[in-house]
Amino acid sequence: MNESYYLILAALLFTIGGAGVLVRRNAILVFMSVELMLNSVNLTLVTFSRINGTLEGQVMAFFVMVVAAAEVVVGLAIIMSIFRSRRSASVDDVNLLKY
Amino acid sequence: MPTDILSPQLSYGPIAPLLIVFGTALVGVLVEAFVPARRRRLAQIVVAIVGLLAAFVAVVLLAGTHELVFADAIAVDGMTLFLQGTLAVLGIAAILLISERSLDASGGAVVSRAAVLPGSREDVALAEATDVQTEIYPLALFSLGGMMLFPASNNLLLMFIALEVLSLPLYLMAGLARRRRLLSQEAAMKYFLLGAFSSAFFLYGVALLYGYAGSVDLGEVAAATGLAQSNEALLLAGIALLAVGLLFKVGAVPFQAWTPDVYQGSPTPVTALMAACTKIAAFGGLLRVFYVGFGSVEWDWEPMMWAVAILTMVVGALLAVTQTDVKRMLAYSAVAHTGFILVGVIALSPAGLAGTMFYLLAYGFTTLAAFAVVTLVRDSSGEATHLAQWAGLGRKSPLVAGTFAFFLFALAGIPLTSGFMAKFAVFTAAVDSGATGLVVVGVVTSAVTAFFYARVVVLMFFSEPAPDGPTVSVPSGFTAGAIALGLAVTVVLGVLPQPVLDLAEQASRLVS
């Protein structure tokens, strides 16, 4: 079975996530797109782990999951506080700081 | 088939500074939980400063160490120790700024309850209340611990963990301003979303390099770059994606968009911490990755770094000219300085490494003290950061205006200040390595930056003060101490730089 299909799938997921960050307007969805990018990295790591025949990549995937979970805690707290003060989670509405 | 698992040799001595800082942060969490509220602030300040001093002493005792520990994951060498020592001292100065209470009528620069809605009735009551929030001390220490780990990481996975450990507390701290809370929350959200985006790029670069080299150890990546049969595309894509993550953290163009917004919106003591310490840590990581990991494939990445350095210097200098807010102006000046420091990174020589480290030290102290001066100029709504409000400040308070003017001259690189010696060090290293074109751009953009620094000095000393202008508050010993430290370092490094230059030169060795 050809492992490079998984790498292509991961690259596609990463691109979809990256595009999502750029085009989505809701902070929660932007954040979900970032999570999609991190998960595509996990898929890449596990696939390379299989290709290289070492376990390091799988261990790294666990680290990435833990860090992603910590990031969710901090990120949702920040998005929540913005939503409560503005009644909106749109990234277009946070425009006080510019130029 | 069972295989023997070799347990790595663990030696805790060389990572003592890291253990001390992380341990102090944990003690800070315990203080938060068990010490009564009215004694908490004093306890946190003492714990944080003692911890950072102990870390600095540990760095001094470790001087001369040159080894890889923890299964080659952590490199303790001259650069690591030099940057860790700098970060410990700058961390103390930042803690002093965060501890200041006498400037704002109701307490420090940090909101006491961040969950209260801005503009609500509780918020109005909170603005009058004098209670303080002390969670920021452990947060700052965790962040400083991550910063001290970042340049020491010889393993890309560990570097990613360090990146997150330094970033996550900073995202929160950016949103904790007592005044102008909407701006502060907005800064936190922008910093968080863009930071998470860039760390995803960093991580994808790590994954591709793992596919390329079969390991994320920088030594093994470097060994793999020497083999002919490896997949070149993976290496190039990996370098590019890794560079995106690192250049975002240092604030280089085209990844600088967050810098002005976050610097302006965050509480000013936190901005000072970010401007000085994050830059040092991120450049430390950048130096380690490009010198140790990709040193032998410099032809593949140098053109890209040239373009980034030139863009960073030009865009930073030109956009700073048009700014009307003093914190934003300092932010764009930070972008321009990132470009100057990148010139030293591109030199790719021991002299370039030494020059870059000296620049980071000099720049860190000057910029931290400059932001400290910004906290002193206030009106009824908090800090008066609009440049028009600074008109005629030299007549109201010659001391504060003179100090600020001196820091601006140092940032501009006028002789007899640390900024001149720092620019001289990186530019000569770059010329010796054949990057003369880059240095020409650097000198021309330095002249542009001198223009907008001088404009502020002219504004402060040669304009009429506005009738309802801001007042200059008298700080307590905390802020005064931090400014005095920055002033002393800026003067000493400008007049007698040789001992520190020698130290940087001795420390410019990377273990691999």
Residue type for position B266: S
Put simply, the answer to whether B193 touches A86 (Cβ < 8 Å) is: no
The pLDDT, as a whole number, for residue B509 is 87
Query: Could you tell me if B171 lies within 8 Å of chain A, comparing CB atoms?
Result: yes
Q: Write the DSSP string, chain A.
A: --THHHHHHHHHHHHHHHHHHHH--BHHHHHHHHHHHHHHHHHHHHHHHHHHT-SHHHHHHHHHHHHHHHHHHHHHHHHHHHHHHHS--BTTT--SS--
The pLDDT tens digits of the residues spanning B20-44 come to 999 999 999 999 999 998 899 999 9
Supply B8's token pair: 């790595």
Put simply, the answer to whether A91 touches B193 (Cβ < 8 Å) is: yes
The pLDDT, as a whole number, for residue B470 is 85
The pLDDT, as a whole number, for residue B110 is 83
Q: How many residues does chain A have?
A: 99
pLDDT at B212 over 70: yes
Q: Max CA-CA distance within chain B?
A: 84
CA atoms of B207 and B222, how far apart (whole Å): 16
The pLDDT tens digits of the residues spanning B267-312 come to 999 999 999 999 999 999 999 999 999 988 888 899 999 999 999 9
> Which residues of chain A have a CB within 8 Å of the CB of B207?
41, 44-45, 48, 57, 60
Put simply, the answer to whether B200 touches A74 (Cβ < 8 Å) is: no
What value does the mean pLDDT take over residues A18-29? 93
Contacts 24+ apart (CB under 8 A), A79-87: A79/A27, A79/A28, A79/A31, A79/B189, A81/B114, A81/B115, A81/B175, A81/B185, A81/B188, A82/A27, A82/B185, A82/B186, A82/B189, A83/A27, A84/B117, A85/B117, A85/B118, A85/B119, A85/B181, A85/B182, A85/B185, A86/B182
The pLDDT, as a whole number, for residue B465 is 85
> Which residues of chain B have a CB within 8 Å of the CB of A79?
189
Put simply, the answer to whether B204 touches A30 (Cβ < 8 Å) is: no
Q: State if pTM tops 0.90.
A: yes
Q: Which of B76-85, B223-232, B262-271 has the lowest mean pLDDT?
A: B223-232
Q: How far is CA B405 from CA B202, B408, B413, B433, in A?
A: 38, 5, 12, 34
Q: B428: part of which helix (H) or strand (E)?
A: helix B418-432
Put simply, the answer to whether A48 touches B211 (Cβ < 8 Å) is: yes
Whether the bond between B36 and the residue before it is cis, its omega within 30 degrees of 0, is no
Q: How many CB atoms lie within 10 A of CB B281?
A: 28
Residue owning tokens 């079975």: A1
Q: Is the ipTM of this complex over 0.90?
A: yes
Report the percentage of chain B scoring pLDDT > 70. Answer: 98
The pLDDT, as a whole number, for residue B383 is 86
The pLDDT, as a whole number, for residue B133 is 79
- As a dihedral over the C-alpha atoms of residue A45, residue A47, residue A49, residue A50, rounded to 10 degrees, the angle is 170
The pLDDT, as a whole number, for residue B102 is 80
Helix (H, G, I), strand (E, B) or coil at B211: helix
The pLDDT, as a whole number, for residue B101 is 84
The pLDDT tens digits of the residues spanning B316-351 come to 999 999 999 999 999 999 999 999 999 999 999 999
> Burial, B268: exposed, middle or buried (Cβ in 10 Å; 0-12, 13-18, 19+)?
buried
- Mutate which of B182, B210, B332 to test chain A, going by most A C-beta atoms within 10 A? B210
Contacts 24+ apart (CB under 8 A), B192-195: B192/A74, B192/A75, B192/A78, B193/A21, B193/A27, B193/A30, B193/A31, B193/A34, B193/A75, B193/A91, B194/B248, B194/B257, B194/B258, B195/B167, B195/B171, B195/B248, B195/B258
